[in-house]
Amino acid sequence: FLAALGYDVFNPMEVIPEFTADIGTKKGEKVDYAIKKDNDVIMLVECKWSGADLHNDHKAQLFRYFATTEARFGVLTNGLTYEFYSDLDEPNKMDARPFFVFHILDFQKHQIEDLKKFTKAAFSIDEILNSASTLKYTGAIKKILESELTEPSESFVRFFATQIFDGRLTKPVLDQFTRIVKEARTQFINDKINDRLQSALSGDEPQVLLPT
């Protein structure tokens, strides 16, 4: 993966395995890889086995190492999923959530463009940080939308119901609107898919693009 990003994995001055990241009085702490560019550490990489669930406490080590180097980016990976972290919320303290996640076996085309920013040729701390906040919060919003569209919460149903229903929102009414919201969601998505198909068949560019 690092080689695909353009880094020379055979150059120990560029890709440093078992990089020492002493933490206070705790000496000999090592992060799996440190990536250097122009003699500066730009990324730390902590690797877990391919079946590891990165949602567990595996990021604790990376969190500790992050504050001991000048690196602005940390990567936690199990070889299939790559989570990219920075210190967007508080300087020199790794954020609790990644701002970018790349799955080797399940990714979207637009994520390739985001990943290219981490290549050796294109790497720019300022450029990545400028887009990191947008990436982080866009990803979080997409997860919320996916969850709400799959199984609408009461607050999501209320958002629509209060705009089109003048009566009291009792439980039976909310139950009814939950079914209506689900049906409206299905019809909306089908309509947009049909619009895209018709546009593709006619050779016209679709006016509305659904996220893929």
CB 95 within 8 A of CB 85: yes
Q: Tell me the pLDDT tens digit for each residue of 162-187.
A: 999 988 999 999 999 999 999 998 89
Q: How confident is the model at residue 196 (pLDDT cuts 50, 70, 90)?
A: confident
Instruction: Give the list of residues 6+ apart from residue 128 with CB closer than 8 angstroms, or none.
Output: 73, 86, 117, 118
Q: What is the mean pLDDT of residues 59-70?
A: 78
Q: Give the position of tokens 């508080």.
A: 90
Phi, psi of 97 (to 5 degrees): -120, 145
Q: What is the mean pLDDT of residues 24-44?
A: 81
Q: Tell me the pLDDT tens digit for each residue of 102-158.
A: 999 999 888 999 999 999 999 998 889 888 888 888 888 888 988 998 899 999 999
**pTM value?**
0.71
Q: Tell me the pLDDT tens digit for each residue of 38-59.
A: 888 999 999 998 888 887 666 7
Rg (CA), the chain: 22
Q: What is the mean pLDDT of residues 70-85?
A: 92
Q: What is the mean pLDDT of residues 31-36?
A: 91
Q: Give the position of tokens 């998505």.
A: 189
Q: How confident is the model at residue 212 (pLDDT cuts 50, 70, 90)?
A: very low
pLDDT at 177: 92
Q: Tell me the pLDDT tens digit for each residue of 79-111.
A: 999 999 998 888 888 888 899 999 999 998 889
CA dihedral for 166, 172, 176, 181, sign (positive or negative): positive
pLDDT at 52: 84
Averaged pLDDT of the chain: 86
